[in-house]
Chain A
Amino acid sequence: MTADRRAAHGLATALAAFTLWAVAFTALYVVQALGCRYAWSPLLHQAMLFGVWLVPSVALALMLGFAWTARRGRMARVGLAATAAALVSTLWTGLPLLLASTCV
């Protein structure tokens, strides 16, 4: 990959990583609301919530691995750092799952 393409790739990586965070965040809110509205069983509701929290987290961890292997150049490092930030953000914003009940 040329330095030029790496620059574009780094920006795309940063945007993709935080888009994934946005998808995960929205999905958490939507699944929480749907489960409460339609009275899903607590087990199913919890499982779905953990699913939409952890699947994007794993995807971001994989993205982080790829970004680490292609970290040459300033914009590539921007992509790497943004992916790490998006992963931490996803883990952090889902943490209330461990603390609060779903529908109270």
Chain B
Amino acid sequence: MSGTPQRSEPGASTANPPPPGLDGALEALWGTPRGWGRLSAVNHTIVGRRFIVTAFVFFAIGGLLAMLIRAQLATPANAFLGAAVYNQIFTMHGTVMMFLFAIPMFEGLAVYLLPKMLGARDLAFPRLSAYGYWCYLFGGALVVGSLVLGVAPDSGWFMYTPLSSRPYSPGIHADVWLIGITFVEVSAVAAAVEIVVSVLKVRAAGMALNRMPIFAWYLLVTAGMMLVGFPPLILGSILLELERAFGWPFFDPLRGGDPLLWQHLFWLFGHPEVYIIFLPAAGVVSTVLPVFARRPLVGYSWIVVSIIAMAFLSFGLWVHHMFAVGIPHLALGFFSAASMMVAIPTAVQIFAWIGTLLRGRPVFQLPMLFICGFFFIFVAGGLTGVMLAVVPFDWQVHDTHFVVAHLHYVLIGGFLFPMMAGAYYWLPHFTGRMPVHHLGTASFWLVFVGFNLTFLPMHLTGLLGMPRRVYTYAPGLGWDALNLLSSVASFVMAIGFALFVVDIALQRRFGRPAPADPWGAGTLEWAMPLPPPSYNFASQPAVDGPLEPTRLATAIMTGEQHLGVTRNGWRETLGVDAATGRPDQVLLLPGPTFLPLWMALATGTFFVSALFKLYLLSLAGAAAVLVLAILWLWSMGERRDPPLVPIGLGQSALAGPADRRSPLHAALACTLVADASFFASLAFGYAFLWVIAPNWPPPALPAPSPALAAMAAAGLVATTLGAWRAGRARSPVAPLALSALGAAVAMGALAATIDRLPSVSAHAYGAASAALGAYALFHCGLALVAALYTIARVRAGFVSPVRHLALCNTRLLAGYAAVTGLIVVALLHAVPAMVAP
């Protein structure tokens, strides 16, 4: 049997032969070069696969670390690992699993599957996906490499201060985490922007919001959560690194800082993170389960409501990780109530799944086995979660192994089992071959039994008082046998995962070729040959009713649907109105390029240099990122107005319109949402220190300077007015110049304001105020660069009354800089005068 997968032709028995040359012409357009050229790949299928494979490698590393942890804890007073090494290992286990496996695995699945499910040929920004992948790979390698060098983070994956502060964590251990994980977060935010814009703008014609596959809803909401949830952690990491590297005392209570600020910022990210991990996995369940239940998902609309509810409610739970820090009872009550509330939308989904099974005719195939395992484990984890939401109970088991058991039940049950179900479900899509069931079944039982025997006893050791994060324990406390059982069972679970890998390899080599739509699914990724061609669809389907991949496949393959042509060497995919799915443009996507790789290397230069305190080199890296970003943006757009082109089925659309409809405009809006979350977290930190931190008000405050405040405000207003006027003026150059001038004036005033602040290392007031000022300064700088860039675009002929995207984006950016800048000016100038005695 050949090891090379053979591509099956969907609907081959009834299909007409494809138009001569269409497949070949599309492959020539959408394919990726061989050899070194592979590094220039931007195709979503390739980038998605890379994400998934890399995430799985990191999962294996995290799993090995887990086995070392269990080997150490198997017996009391064990000398297998010392405390210092153990600290690095348990920190890296959590870090790798959360940041380098779970999130990137979801991103990879989204990057690979979304366009195929949405009936598109690629994502909105192929180069952004590729850039995100390289940042993930380099950042992950940096973090994991530190383990090899013995300088891995050792303060826990949550990096609580003061343990992670310089006096208690010398060396670069903590810096590796702060800088490496921030590097990886760049990838996550890029992926979030990519996913939101792609779901909203890049779909098949006629696929209105309420016709989207439920998986797309899950990914849309998850990506939206990432935009809001990740910036607080990025901010916290920057502030802690500033404290460690330069002595800015954000978290030092002796100098007006507060360690609780770190906990707030971390858990503002950390709790939504749990749902960011769970929701895509729940999306897999909502996609796979109806296929094997042989009926459509029960309660589609209710599930959409519950996803949205979970997304919001999950942001109201962060303090439930801080129940033991001494917060007033009333505040604890708010967060306890929210923690219980979030169980309801979770339950809605579980009941919808059960309803689907009850009303269907379930077929019990391998993916369903993993879904059943998910039900059992996740519900158990959810119930212990409700227990932990009850404050008095939480106080009893806080920082014990009960919490370790709970979080593993939620994360392994809620993420890993659905992902393994998804792996077996979509493997025919990746490889073109069917699973070999017997090995998969054995793998399931080993993982399921091993998991429960590992973590169920931890509830008991936790209730018996065994603390987390200790490298050993004394004998005779009643923990010995339970720990030994956990450790032995963890190795059984590991064998199960190893068998899963063997099974995948065997399937890829020996599995029988997958037929078209092997599971009888109802989503468009099955309406293409297996494994998929680089362009996904020879023509993009028009969705006008229930999705029936087998029925649609013939018309798609014969080029009878949308864009069943090639022209001008364009990589075309349809862009649609977000709500209705009506085609409103033809997107012209970029081909293979090394630009994302170079930009990720420049980004890496910035981060790695900062890690080794080579700040000049770091600044050079940042400058290189800026130059490459400008080159990247400059390569987009045309010097002529977009032509109206036929898109098939008797319809026409503009090819690459450069106006508000462009995905670039939506991408900027999404980026600013993430930016606003960062800013809100910074403002929260500033207010938190004023209100809660000890040793406030500060010993020294700057004298009021109404002139500087007025100058900064005037500059900011000019920045936004100029950019706004440019969109309406016959010649936009003069208003853009005014915008640039305003930004320059505001920068000068803000720099002078920062210069007048008290020492940034003497008290947190100076540090927090300088951080706010620097934020506004940076954004004024961005507005200045945007105005100058747009002037250059106008002069180069890229802007016309029809092609005004650059003007729209400059206006949006300048407006954001002005609004946040004015808030910063108010905080820096007015608040000290109002609040100080």
Write the residues of chain A forming the contact surface with B, with a CB cutoff of 8 angstroms: 4-5, 7-8, 11, 14-15, 18-19, 21-22, 25, 28-29, 32-34, 36-37, 73-75, 77-78, 81-82, 85-86, 89, 92-97, 99-104
Contacts and interface: CB of A to CB of B under 8 A. Distances in A.
Contacts of A19: 312
Given A7-B209, A7-B580, A104-B328, A96 B336 contact: yes
B304 interface: yes
A4 B582 contact: yes
B278 to A, nearest CB: 18
A96 B334 contact: yes
A28 B332 CA distance: 12
Interface of B: 208-210, 300-302, 304-305, 308-309, 311-313, 315-316, 328-334, 336-338, 341, 345, 577-580, 582, 691-692
A95 B305 contact: no
B333 A74 contact: no
Q: Which 3 A-B pairs have the closest CB atoms?
A: A96-B333, A8-B579, A18-B312
Nearest to A18: B312
Contacts of A36: 328
Given A7-B579, A104-B328, 13 more contacts: A4-B579, A4-B582, A14-B305, A22-B312, A25-B334, A29-B334, A78-B304, A82-B305, A86-B309, A93-B334, A93-B338, A96-B337, A104-B329
B338 to A, nearest CB: 5
A66 B345 CA distance: 23
Contacts of A103: 328, 330
A74 B301 CA distance: 7
Given A102-B328, A104-B328, A21 B333 contact: no
Contacts of A29: 331, 334
A37 B332 CA distance: 16
9 contacts: A4-B582, A7-B579, A14-B305, A18-B308, A21-B312, A25-B334, A89-B341, A93-B334, A96-B336
Contacts of B210: 7, 73-75, 78
A10 to B, nearest CB: 8
Given A32-B328, A82-B305, A93 B337 contact: yes
Nearest to B306: A85
A100 B308 contact: no
A81 B305 contact: yes
Given A32-B330, A75-B209, A82 B308 contact: yes
A102 B301 CA distance: 39
A19 to B, nearest CB: 8
Nearest to A30: B687
A99 B209 contact: no
Contact of B337 (A14, A22, A75, A92): A92
Contacts of B331: 29, 32-33
Contacts of A34: 691
Contacts of B309: 18, 82, 85-86, 89
A29 B795 CA distance: 51
A19 B316 CA distance: 12
Given A33-B691, A37-B691, A102-B328, A22 B316 contact: yes
A22 B691 contact: no
A102 to B, nearest CB: 5
A11 B579 contact: yes
A15 B337 CA distance: 21
Given A96-B336, A97-B330, A104-B328, A14 B308 contact: yes
A75 B209 CA distance: 8
Contacts of A95: 333, 337
A78 B305 contact: yes
A82 B348 CA distance: 13
A89 B310 CA distance: 11
A95 B311 CA distance: 21
Nearest to A9: B579
Contact of A11 (B209, B300, B315): B209
Contacts of B338: 25, 89, 93
A58 to B, nearest CB: 19
B301 A28 contact: no
B318 to A, nearest CB: 10
Contacts of A4: 208, 577, 579-580, 582
Contact of A92 (B341, B579, B580): B341
A14 B580 CA distance: 17
A100 B330 contact: yes
A77 B311 CA distance: 19
B21 to A, nearest CB: 37
Contacts of A37: 691-692
Given A18-B308, A74-B301, A103-B328, A7 B691 contact: no
Given A14-B308, A15-B308, A25-B338, A5 B579 contact: yes
A40 to B, nearest CB: 13
A84 to B, nearest CB: 9
Contacts of B304: 78
A103 to B, nearest CB: 5
B334 A78 contact: no
B316 A93 contact: yes
A21 to B, nearest CB: 6
A64 to B, nearest CB: 13
A14 B217 CA distance: 14
